[in-house]
Amino acid sequence: MTGFGDAQREDAGRAYHVELRCVNNRYFKASISLPNELLYLEADIERRLRQRITRGSVHVRLFVRDTSGSAAPEINAAVIAGYVQQLRQAAGGGADLHIDLAALAALPGVIASRELDERQREEIRGIVEALLDAAVERLVASRSAEGRVLTADLRRHCAMIRERLELVRGRVPLVVQEYAQRLLTRVNELLATSSLQLSQEGLQREVALYADRSDISEEISRLGGHLEAFDAALGSGEPSGRRLDFVVQEMLREANTMGAKSGDPEIARCIIDIKSAIDRLKEQVQNAE
């Protein structure tokens, strides 16, 4: 599921802003963008995210701005000189070289990053972790709103599957009866033009074999059980995306078996509708947390 969350704080002459964006992914993936002097926080941030988010591509950005007004950035003159020398060489040594200072300042190493001592590192760690937790709460709330819409849609598809499954359940005994009637009619037509004799036991045996080959009562029962398991997972209040994914695969397995075993056109139409709804469930649970 998609979502957004952020949090801001100003502390000790620095303004911090944590921004989280999440897009759909079957698995968890974190992309973390930090200022160079705070790269030591990357592993902690990913670990903290994994504790709350199990699915989705999460993009994390941490912005830090100096608000004290007293600390000017330290410029590395030696690095600048090296860049200028290389630019002059690339330009053929001409004296009329025009350099964009803003572009020069953006080059790696021109602005020296300040070294943080251990105390500063731990203070910043605490600030960032608190902001991250607050941003995650907002992200989760954002995803929960989308999750409620998704849950309603999933339940609607399940209701349609149940409706078609009940039609199949009611149709199964009629299929055997209709087969027996068709068989008897056909046999009587053949016997009317020949001297052959066919016992009642033979007809009953043939009907019993057909009923056994086309029996889908177990598949109907199992699919009903999978629907109950799906509903239970939806209402658990816990992250259940992978569980839902597994249950949907089992539902599709039962629907395929029913379609293969039954040759009745009415049941076949119901199975097509059931499989279509299961396919929609399969697509949507990929995004469920």
Residue among 41, 193, 185 nearest 121 (CA): 41
Return the number of other C-beta atoms located less than 10 Å from residue 104's C-beta.
15
- Tell me the β-bridge partners of 66: 14
Q: Is 183 found in the same domain as 269?
A: yes
Type and span of the H or E element at 138: helix 118-191
Q: What is the pLDDT of residues 137-187, one digit of tens each?
A: 999 988 888 888 888 999 999 999 999 999 999 988 887 777 676 766 776
> Residues 249, 184: contact at Cβ < 8 Å?
no
Q: What is the pLDDT of residues 59-86, one digit of tens each?
A: 999 998 887 765 566 777 788 888 888 8
Q: Measured between alpha carbons, how far is 254 from 177 in angstroms, rounded to an integer?
A: 24
Single-letter amino acid code for the residue at 168: V
Domain count, the chain: 2
Could you identify the residue written with the tokens 């949507």?
Answer: 284
User: What single-letter DSSP state applies at residue 100?
Assistant: -
Residue 1 in any domain: the answer is no
> Residues 229, 220: contact at Cβ < 8 Å?
no
Q: How confident is the model at residue 133 (pLDDT cuts 50, 70, 90)?
A: very high
Q: Which two tokens stand for residue 169?
A: 């359940």
Q: Measured between alpha carbons, how far is 182 from 140 in angstroms, rounded to an integer?
A: 60
Q: Is 224 found in the same domain as 159?
A: yes
Q: Is 184 found in the same domain as 281?
A: yes
Residue 210 in any domain: the answer is yes
Residue 230, φ and ψ in degrees, nearest 5: -65, -45
pLDDT at 104: 74
pLDDT at 86: 84
99 or 274, which is more confident?
A: 274
Determine the distance from the C-alpha atom of residue 99 to the mean position of all C-alpha atoms in its chain, rounded to a whole number.
49
Give the structural domain span for 167: 146-285
pTM: 0.62
Q: Is 166 found in the same domain as 111?
A: no
Residue 241 has pLDDT above 90, yes or no: no
Q: Is 276 found in the same domain as 152?
A: yes
